[in-house]
Structure formats: C-alpha cells, structure tokens
C-alpha cells in the first residue's frame, strides 16, 4: 500500500481529506505522526506557489511522498480577497464571525452574481525535490446575505453554492462532492491509480 504524508496542520483539512480517502488503498500519515517540524512561512502570492512551497519544505525533511495543499476564498467584488491570505484575513487571530461581519459589510447591498466568489484548492505531491503531481480544484458560489449552517469550517457558513441551494456549512456530505478540496483529492486518487 502506498504511503502519503499529509503535510497540513489544519485539523479540518486533515479530517476532510481522510474522509475523502476512505476506501482508497493508501496509508495516510500526518504531521502529527512525525517529529515536530516548524511551519514554513507562506510567502507566495498564488495558491500553487504556496502549495509547492509547503510540499517542498516538508518533503526536504521527511522521507515520504508529501501531499500539501493551499486553499482559500476569492471574492470578486473584493478584488480576489481574502485569497492566499484567507487564514490571516483581518488579523491572524480574528474569529470567523468577525471575518464574516467585515466581508458582509464590505459587500454592502450587492446582490446575486455581484457577490460571486470561489474556493480554490491547489494540491501537490512532492518527493525529495520533485513535484510529482499538481492539481487545482475550484467551486464557484456567492457570498450569502448572512452566515448559515454549522458544518464544515472557516468561511463555509457564508459560501452559498447555487447548485446546492445551500451554504457549504449546510451541505453535510454534499460538501465533499462539490468542494474545491473534493475535486483536488479525486484528481490525486486518479493519479495514484494511474501509477499502478
Ligand atoms: P491555508 O492553510 O493557507 O491553505 O489556509 C486556508 C484557509 O482558507 C483556511 O484557514 C480557511 O480560512 C480558508 N478555507 C480553505 N478551505 C476552506 C473550506 O473548505 N471551507 C472554508 N474555508 C476554507
């Protein structure tokens, strides 16, 4: 069985990716099973750049095939913000309700497609210095008028998916079927299958 080291310290991402890989014959290790490694600074200006940066950083320190991802929310009316700075938006330790308030305030009374946004997930698999696999998953949606739902994490309560008629925080298992991360993990599984 192939072993993958999932290099993220975000427990929500780990939970989602682990659930998505259920039934796939891979052994999924995380950073929690490895000696502590200081986190790299995410200095790139693109999701792909940061995913590669994290993948290469951990692959240089671990013997495994490292899977890393960088993800975030792009809101068109805010010029693509929070984008690669999604985890740090407003200030690094701001609560998500505080971030929702700020985003909803900035969007004001814009409606429908004027509130267009997308979640992006850039994912890489790296061994040593080699990027073996790279993909990008995207889910298009709109910023809801108000937060709704208690599932998921991060910006899910304000991300309305027209195809579902719900926010991602209300989507339950349907989140994996449509999400940026779900698409990226399905591409990863296809790559793993083709390797055999
Ligand atoms: P990263 O660790 O730099 O990739 O930060 C990703 C950030 O983007 C997270 O901390 C969340 O704020 C946001 N984000 C990424 N994926 C999701 C998702 O599936 N739902 C909600 N927020 C997300």
Share of residues in the chain with pLDDT > 70 (%): 99
Q: What's the rounded Cα separation, in Å, for the pair 26 and 185?
A: 12
Strand bridging mode 65-75 / 2-6: parallel
Q: How confident is the model at residue 195 (pLDDT cuts 50, 70, 90)?
A: confident
pLDDT tens by residue, 32-66: 989 999 999 999 999 999 999 999 999 999 999 99
Q: Is the pLDDT of residue 191 over 90?
A: yes
10 pocket-lining for ligand 1 (C-beta < 6 Å): yes
Q: What is the pTM of this model?
A: 0.97
pLDDT tens by residue, 118-162: 999 999 999 999 999 999 999 999 999 999 999 999 999 999 999
Mutation probe of ligand 1 site: the residue of 154, 157, 175 with most atoms within 8 A of C-beta = 154
Alpha carbon distances (Å) from 37 to 14, 29, 62, 76? 17, 14, 10, 35
How does the average pLDDT of the chain come out, rounded?
97
Contact 183, 137 (CB under 8 A): yes
From the candidates 33, 64, 70, 101, which is the catalytic residue? Answer: 70
Count of C-beta atoms within a 10 Å radius of residue 107: 19
């Amino acid at each position: 069985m192939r072993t993958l080291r999932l290099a993220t310290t975000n427990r929500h991402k780990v939970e989602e990716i682990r659930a998505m890989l259920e039934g796939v014959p891979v052994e999924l290790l995380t950073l929690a099973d490895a000696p502590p490694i200081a986190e790299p600074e995410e200095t790139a200006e693109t999701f792909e750049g940061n995913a590669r940066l994290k993948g290469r950083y951990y692959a240089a320190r671990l013997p495994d095939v490292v899977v890393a991802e960088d993800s975030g929310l792009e809101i068109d009316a805010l010029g693509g913000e929070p984008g690669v700075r999604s985890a740090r938006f407003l200030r690094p330790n701001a609560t998500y309700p505080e971030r929702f308030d700020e985003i909803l305030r900035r969007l004001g009374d814009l409606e429908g497609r004027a509130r267009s946004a997308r979640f992006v997930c850039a994912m890489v698999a790296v061994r040593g210095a080699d990027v073996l696999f790279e993909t990008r998953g995207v889910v298009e949606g709109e910023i809801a008028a108000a937060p709704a739902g208690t599932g998921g994490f991060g910006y899910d309560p304000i991300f309305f998916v027209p195809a579902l008629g719900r926010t991602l925080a209300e989507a339950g298992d349907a989140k994996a079927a449509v999400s940026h991360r779900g698409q990226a993990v399905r591409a990863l599984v296809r790559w793993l299958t083709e390797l055999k």
